[in-house]
Structure 1
Amino acid sequence: MGGSIYIGISGWRYEPWRGVFYPEGLVQSRELEYASRQLSTIEINGSFYSLQRPHSYAEWYAATPPGFVFSCKGNRFLTHILRLRDPEGPLANVLASGVFELREKLGPFLWQFPPNFQFDPERMERFFALLPHDTDAALARARLYEPRMEGRTSLDAGPKRPMRHAVEIRHDSFRDPAFIALLRKYKVALVVADTAGKWPYLEDVTADFMYLRLHGDKELYASGYSDEALDRWAARIRAWTSGGQPEDAHLASSKAPLKRAKRDLYCYFDNDIKVHAPFDAQRLMQRLGLR
């Protein structure tokens, strides 16, 4: 028996999907309700562009069925503007902004870095050391939010639950065994990102879960996945979730990961331009015997 597998999409509000994936005439306010009943997880990407409000997270929680999982994309002010300089306040703001309203449906945080952001061991370690790995630690960090957040925070974290973090890199300097060692030290997952060859493709296992982002294998954000490609992904997912890794894995480090009997896995299709993402996600779910 392998780990739990969650397969879904990055975002859900796309005009071209209406009348194709979403039924004709479905009101926009019910799109999440519909999508969450076709797939097991969705990546919230609005949180990347701006801090969302507690009432939005509460609405998303209410719209989705039991067992559904959201991953939450970290705010770009921290990753792209500050580039991890003085991350304490902005990280507290993210954690205070309403994510606790997702309760047990809160899955991993995704921290994505820009293509011109190079591996800086000291800066990365300072950030990783701040990342909370349970909701109690997250609440303690959230309480340090900056004054500008006053009146728009949610600080009820509920019962203690684990929290997970994944990092997506886009610069070749991260092909470094020292980076993989740092991820393993702080139990942060390295995102396996299929980007049609545009950015580094690494499959090093660094945590007790895997995080995949499939942006398109031929054309970034646009191309759909063939049956053959989905069969290949299904085989890799079986290897990872059963505690192993593919024999032909693309690795930056020669050191083997910690042995595990199983790993959970989150996979998001981001090839959304031509409405491939939700259908590719469903086809991969079928290959893995997931409802």
Structure 2
Amino acid sequence: MGGKVRVGIGGWVFEPWRGTFYPEGLRQKDELAYVGEHLTATEINATYYSTQKPATFAGWAKAVPDGFQFAVKASRFCTNRRVLADAGESIAKFVHQGLVELGDRLGPILWQFMPTKAFDPDDFGAFLKLLPASVDGVPLRHALEVRHDSFDDPAFFHLAKAAGAAVVYADHPEYPALSGHDVGFSYARLMRTREEEPTGYSPREIENWANRARQQAAQGDVYTFFISGAKVRAPAAAQAMIVALR
């Protein structure tokens, strides 16, 4: 039984998308619904910066169609700290802010670490033990985006696999491109879109990402997000990959 491949972008509020991705004159409050019609996932960025209200999550869930999912970026107060083992209170606050209001639109939680954060096996292992398997009866899936070369270590992959957490694959000029073990879903963040390329990545590159996603879907759900680089091209890249997957 294969998983579902979902393709999206980071957030939905980005001024340069108005008139390039969003039609001229589309109301800002209708932008998320437009994303829901044309893509199959998006990352929620607002949760990285501040706590949201349960009603906000419920509103986001209502704006998008069945099958669409949100990856939720974990609060920076959980991950941007010297001692990760002390993050328990911040993690509890983050998961209990109303994520369950997303219902079946809830995708994985993205735990993003600073490029300066090096791998400390004991501390990182303690952090992973703080990640809850569920909240209010709703199962949670965790994806780890680490950006320091020291994480290219079998000990890190072992810890992530034991915790059931996916290792985010990053296509980025400076961050390591790490491929994790099968934990039932996979997560990629593609960050090399180019302004001069109408679809951000070349058609051949898009085809390669689509083929990679097809292969990974044998192990479970696949999430692919076109994020930074030439961000104005991210929606076109996502749409091109959705077409390539058909």
- TM-score bucket of the superposed structures, by smaller chain: over 0.9
- 1:175 positional shift: 0.5
Identify which of 192, 211, 226 aligns with 1:269: 226
Residue 234 of structure 1 aligns with which residue? 210
Equivalents in 1 of 2:192, 2:106: separation in Å?
A: 26
Equivalents in 1 of 2:133, 2:107: separation in Å?
A: 11
- 1:205 positional shift: 2.3
Where 2:224 maps in the other structure, the secondary structure is: strand
Equivalents in 1 of 2:194, 2:21: separation in Å?
A: 22
RMSD over aligned Cα, in angstroms?
1.9
Q: Are 2:163 and 1:163 equivalent residues in the alignment?
A: no
Whether the aligned pair in 2 keeps the contact of 1:188 and 1:206 (CA below 8 Å) is: no
Range with bigger deviation, 185-194 or 201-210 = 201-210
Residue 46 of structure 1 aligns with which residue? 46
Cα distance change of structure 1 residues 126 and 55 upon mapping to structure 2, 3 Å threshold: same
Residue 59 of structure 1 aligns with which residue? 59
Q: Are 2:167 and 1:190 equivalent residues in the alignment?
A: yes
Whether the aligned pair in 1 keeps the contact of 2:168 and 2:187 (CA below 8 Å) is: yes
Cα distance change of structure 1 residues 130 and 206 upon mapping to structure 2, 3 Å threshold: farther
Q: What is the correspondence of 1:23-42 to structure 2 with a 5 Å cutoff?
A: 23-42=23-42
- 1:54 positional shift: 1.7
Equivalents in 2 of 1:59, 1:227: separation in Å?
A: 35
Identify which of 156, 166, 183 aligns with 1:179: 156
Equivalents in 2 of 1:218, 1:178: separation in Å?
A: 35
Equivalents in 1 of 2:82, 2:9: separation in Å?
A: 27
Whether the aligned pair in 2 keeps the contact of 1:83 and 1:117 (CA below 8 Å) is: no
- 1:85 positional shift: 4.1
Equivalents in 2 of 1:76, 1:83: separation in Å?
A: 13
- 1:6 positional shift: 0.8
Moved over 4 A (4+): none
Q: Are 2:192 and 1:216 equivalent residues in the alignment?
A: yes
Structure 2 unaligned blocks of 5 or more: none
Q: What is the correspondence of 1:1-291 to structure 2 with a 5 Å cutoff?
A: 2-81=2-81, 83-134=83-134, 138-139=135-136, 160-195=137-172, 197-216=173-192, 224-242=200-218, 262-271=219-228, 273-289=230-246
Equivalents in 2 of 1:82, 1:89: separation in Å?
A: 15
- 1:162 positional shift: 2.6
Deviations 1:51-105 (A, max 9, x none): 2222211110111112211110000011114552411110110011121111111
Where 1:198 maps in the other structure, the secondary structure is: coil
Where 2:242 maps in the other structure, the secondary structure is: helix
Identical pairs, percent: 43
Cα distance change of structure 1 residues 271 and 32 upon mapping to structure 2, 3 Å threshold: same
Aligned length: 244
TM-score, with structure 2 as normaliser: 0.93
Where 1:37 maps in the other structure, the secondary structure is: helix
Q: Computing the radius of gyration over CA atoms, which structure comes out larger, 1 or 2?
A: 1
